[in-house]
Amino acid sequence: MEGEMSQTLVEVEAAAPKERTSPQSSGWKWTAALVAIALCFGAAVALTWWTKGQVHTEKDDDLRHTLRQISMSKNVRAAIHLGGQYNAEFKTSAEWLKDVDHYHSEGGLELRGNEIVIPRDGLYFVYSQASFRVRCHAAAADAADANEAVHLSHTVKRWSPSYAYDDATEKSYKTILHSIRTACEKTPGGDNPAEGRWFSAVYMGAVFSLKSGDTLKTVNEEKLLRDLDEDSGKTFFGVFAL
């Protein structure tokens, strides 16, 4: 009997599985699984950031393309800025120059016959400044001029092809900008030309709807033109498209 029981126990032990999973082996498998999950997550994040970067790059390219188109637009680039000087041949205006210092013209706006020519219909900002060296002391021989106010004026006029001619040959201009100011009051003084000089400027500017072929010119009193300040940046005339 005892022999049969012993034989049965031996058979049961032989039938039982001999391999058992150790704690160390189970921990390694969990670690490997976590590493695999982390790698997958990292790859997904990297792909997401790369995709966003591609979207931002495309948007940046679109923005640069738009800015490039704006910068190439003739309306935006149309501008002219002129410097003025006294020329005895010009009786009612300063002589305007475009090839000195920082003065320029581009985008179709040009200087022709001492006038600015508008290339196409649109809104334009027109501006001008005239600076003067005014003598506010009356000479001894001109005592009657003492206490007389010295007035400075500056005007911009427009001519358009739609305007009628005064006498079939003379252009009819219309004033679009005009400014006048009192610089000083003359006081009795000596005969020194440099004595009693005042520096004063008249500036004006505004937006106008202009047509292709329009021309703009400035007008000043002849007696004031002799006192025009020709230093850089003091007297100028310009237009730019909006």
Cα–Cα dist 29/27, whole Å? 5
Tokens of 85: 């000087």
Query: For the residues 167-185, what does the mean pLDDT come to?
Result: 83
* Residue 185 · residue 145 · CB < 8 Å: no
Judged by average pLDDT, the poorest of 105-109, 151-155, 179-183, 234-238 is 179-183
pLDDT digits (tens, 9 = 90+) for 1-59: 444 444 444 444 444 444 454 545 555 566 566 556 656 656 555 555 555 555 445 55
Instruction: Check residues 227 and 3 and name the one with the higher pLDDT.
Output: 227
Give me the domain span that covers residue 114.
78-241
Same domain, yes or no: 100 and 65: no
82 falls within a domain: yes
Same domain, yes or no: 68 and 136: no
Same domain, yes or no: 109 and 151: yes
Judged by average pLDDT, the poorest of 39-53, 90-104, 227-241 is 39-53
Taking alpha carbons only, the member of 206, 203, 223 closest to residue 158 is 206
Q: Is residue 211 scored above 80 in pLDDT?
A: yes
Same domain, yes or no: 67 and 146: no
Same domain, yes or no: 43 and 113: no
pLDDT at residue 144, as a whole number = 54
Same domain, yes or no: 172 and 96: yes
Taking alpha carbons only, the member of 198, 181, 201, 180 closest to residue 189 is 198
Using a cut of 0.75, tell me whether the model's pTM lies above it: no
Judged by average pLDDT, the poorest of 64-73, 101-110, 220-229 is 64-73
Going from the C-alpha of 160 to that of each of 108, 165, 169, the distances in angstroms are 17, 10, 14
The 3-state DSSP class for residue 113 equals: coil
pLDDT at residue 76, as a whole number = 53
Taking alpha carbons only, the member of 150, 134, 109, 126 closest to residue 218 is 126
